C-alpha cells in the first residue's frame, strides 16, 4: 500500500517531468522560430539583391547567366535548412526519449522491488507462480530493450539517409548550375 506521502512524492515527480518535457518542447519550437526568422530575413535580403542584379543585366545572355547562378545557392540553402530542421527535431526527440527511458527504467525497478516484496510475503507453495511472474517480467524487459535497439537503429538509418539526400541535392544543384552556365 502506498502512503499519502508516497503518492504526493510520485505526483510531484510526475509534474516535474511534465514541466521539464514542456520546456524542452518549447525550446525546440523556439529554435524553429529563430531558424525561420533567420531564413526569412536572409531570403528577403537576397531577393532584393537578386532583383537589383537582374534589373541591371545588359542583355539576355547576362540575364540567363545570372538566373543560372541563383539556382545552386538556392538548392544548397534548402538542403541546409532541411538539415537544421532535422537536427532540431532530432535533438528535441532525443530529450523526450531520454526522459521516457529514465521513467521506464524507474518503473521497472519499482515493479521488480514490488515483485520481490510480494515473493517474500507469498504463502508457501506459491514459488512456481512467483517464478513465472519473474520470468514474464524478464521477458517483457528484454522485449522492451530489443524495441529500443531497433528504434535507435532506425533513427540512425534515417539520419544517414537525410545526410545522403542533402549531399545528393547539393551535388545535383552544382551540376545543373554548371550546365546552365555553359549554355
Q: Percentage of residues in the chain with pLDDT exceeding 70? A: 91
Does residue 57 or residue 162 have the better pLDDT? 57
pLDDT, tens only, 44-54: 999 999 899 98
Mean pLDDT computed over every residue of the chain: 83
Q: How confident is the model at residue 29 (pLDDT cuts 50, 70, 90)?
A: very high
- pLDDT tens track for 65-94: 888 788 778 878 888 898 899 899 989 998
SS3 content of the chain, % helix, strand, coil (to 5): 90, 0, 10
pLDDT at res. 1: 58
- Angle among Cα 8, 9, 12 to the nearest 5 degrees reads 85
The per-residue pLDDT for 122 is 74
The ranges assigned to domains in the chain are 4-182
What pLDDT, on a 0 to 100 scale, did the predictor assign at position 25? Answer: 94
Amino acid at each position: 500500500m502506498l502512503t499519502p506521502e508516497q503518492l504526493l512524492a510520485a505526483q510531484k515527480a510526475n509534474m516535474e517531468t511534465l514541466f521539464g518535457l514542456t520546456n524542452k518542447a518549447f525550446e525546440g519550437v523556439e529554435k524553429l522560430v529563430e531558424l525561420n526568422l533567420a531564413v526569412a530575413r536572409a531570403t528577403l535580403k537576397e531577393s532584393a539583391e537578386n532583383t537589383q542584379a537582374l534589373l541591371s543585366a545588359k542583355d539576355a545572355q547576362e540575364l540567363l547567366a545570372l538566373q543560372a547562378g541563383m539556382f545552386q545557392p538556392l538548392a544548397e540553402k534548402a538542403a541546409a535548412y532541411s538539415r537544421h530542421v532535422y537536427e532540431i527535431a532530432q535533438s528535441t526527440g532525443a530529450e523526450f526519449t531520454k526522459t521516457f527511458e529514465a521513467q521506464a527504467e524507474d518503473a521497472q525497478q519499482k515493479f521488480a522491488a514490488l515483485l520481490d516484496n510480494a515473493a517474500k510475503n507469498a504463502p508457501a507453495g506459491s514459488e512456481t507462480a512467483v517464478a513465472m511472474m519473474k520470468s514474464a517480467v524478464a521477458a517483457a524487459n528484454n522485449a522492451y530493450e530489443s524495441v529500443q535497439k531497433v528504434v535507435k537503429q532506425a533513427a540512425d538509418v534515417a539520419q544517414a539517409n537525410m545526410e545522403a539526400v542533402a549531399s545528393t541535392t547539393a551535388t545535383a544543384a552544382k551540376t545543373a548550375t554548371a550546365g546552365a552556365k555553359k549554355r
